[in-house]
Structure 1
Amino acid sequence: MVTNQPPAASAKDNAPENSVAAIRRLTEKGYDSTTAEDLAEAVGMSRSTFFRRFGSKDDVVFADHDHALTQLERFLDSTTLPPAEAVVEGTADVLRLLVRDPEAARLRFELMRLTPSLRDRELVITHRYERVFARYLQAALPAEAAAWATPALAAGLVAVHNTTLRQWLRDPHPDVVPLLCRDLRQLVSSFTPWLAKPGTTPGANRVMVAVYDTAASPEEVLSSIAAKLGA
């Protein structure tokens, strides 16, 4: 599948590459006991450079999510994929980024489990993802779509992603992205009436599975199929 490539990453976008050592230090010393100097030392930066790059301890933990949100917004703003595929591919890209470094993902999960304030920040991140999807869907769905369709699908995409990520953290699976895409397409199929490609009528294309007697002639088979299609 060909998708639009996001613009070149900025230095800020590359911050996640430097965050693993900092997250490890936070996990080892405890979130409240770790100072900015500890984190700067862990990533090999001066204190001032650390603050320019990350901003705060919270920002270190959620650097990958900030990067993923930026990537998702760029993708949805530029993609030419049909909406049903765009939301699946965009969500899959988020998961690819978050699981690309299994150690960082595991450490982040453990740190959030032990730190209530980080779990609160995680809820804020979740709402940010939902808003990105909702903004895209608001423009992509037709005016006649049900009022609940946009928020319901946006929340569903994030919920399926988060469930898949947590399952992977407990039991890493090499095919986690294809499995996510499968589940997302099942979710999106519930919104097919509003996510059809532009210029098509939902339900206009139909698939028929025919079961016929092997002794029947080709003409009889065709006649039977034609009769069903006309029903």
Structure 2
Amino acid sequence: MSVRAPGTPPESSTAAIRHLAERGYEATTAEALAAAVGMSRSTFFRRFGSKDDVVFADHDLALARLEAALEDTALSPVDALVTATTDVLRLLLRDPEAARLRFELMRLTPALRDRELVITHRYERVFTRYIREVQQPATPAWVASTLGASLVAAHNAALRAWLRGRIADAAAALTDDLRDLTGLYRPWLENTGDRTERRVLVAVYDAAGSPESVLDAVSERLHR
């Protein structure tokens, strides 16, 4: 996993992405990119790795934090998924200019869109693995992968709505959407008490007793 080295200023990534957007991804060499952000070629490769890694550095960081958050959380499964997914969005939007430039670059560059698909599948795998670990017994096999993909889809929809100016507070909108989404899966994620335990009651009664007395006796036993 390629993660921007600790201490690398976020503005370095923004400057690099801006340069790629202005000059064109294919037309820009790694050496030119290093010069544009004021780094030597060796320092650039040590901190970023490649042109692709510059564009996706925040995604790599978000994935690492997502895995760590889900591996060590005291929250309920539903709250953990909502919180962790929203935190990913907050990280990707912490620099609005970089977020918009990244989106424009990927729109114009097929190679970056291919890399984005790989990143998307990585998010889905992290979510799916966590869901399988916490889901209730007898949960259908399709639940984990379906919910994992749905979380990513909801995140991406909120991100694109923000990028296109349709919503102002992307994190709040996403949180609301995720509450609705995870609510559909709650019975499989948490013991909500919706599943009623079945009990078998064997009743022994006096054949001479009235039907009402037999029913009263059975009712009394069931409510113990």
TM-score range, shorter chain: 0.7 to 0.9
Alignment equivalent of 2:5, drawn from 9, 12, 26: 12
- After TM superposition, list the pairs within 5 Å mapping 1:1-231 onto structure 2: 12-15=5-8, 17=10, 18-171=12-165, 173-197=167-191, 200-202=192-194
Q: CA deviation at 1:69?
A: 0.4
Question: RMSD value over aligned CA atoms?
Answer: 1.9
Q: 1:122 to 1:11 in 2, by over 3 A?
A: closer
Asked whether the equivalents of residues 91 and 157 of structure 1 are also in contact (C-alpha less than 8 Å), the reply is yes
Q: Sequence identity of aligned pairs in percent? A: 61
Q: 1:195 to 1:13 in 2, by over 3 A?
A: farther
Q: CA deviation at 1:162?
A: 0.2
Which amino acid in the other structure matches residue 82 of structure 1? S
CA deviations 1:81-106 (Å, max 9, x no partner) are 00011000000000000111110000
Q: 1:115 to 1:11 in 2, by over 3 A?
A: closer
Structure 2, unaligned stretches of length 5 or more? Answer: 197-224
Structure 1, unaligned stretches of length 5 or more? Answer: 1-9, 205-231
CA deviations 1:21-49 (Å, max 9, x no partner) are 00001011100110111111122211001
Asked whether the equivalents of residues 130 and 158 of structure 1 are also in contact (C-alpha less than 8 Å), the reply is yes
Q: CA deviation at 1:196?
A: 1.6
Report the secondary structure of 2:58's partner residue.
Answer: helix
Output the CA distance in 1 between the equivalents of 2:195 and 2:163: 39
The alignment covers a number of residue pairs equal to 194
Output the CA distance in 2 between the equivalents of 1:187 and 1:74: 23
Output the CA distance in 2 between the equivalents of 1:65 and 1:128: 10
Q: 1:13 to 1:149 in 2, by over 3 A?
A: farther
Q: Which structure has the greater CA radius of gyration?
A: 2
Normalising by structure 1, what TM-score? Answer: 0.79
Normalising by structure 2, what TM-score? Answer: 0.82
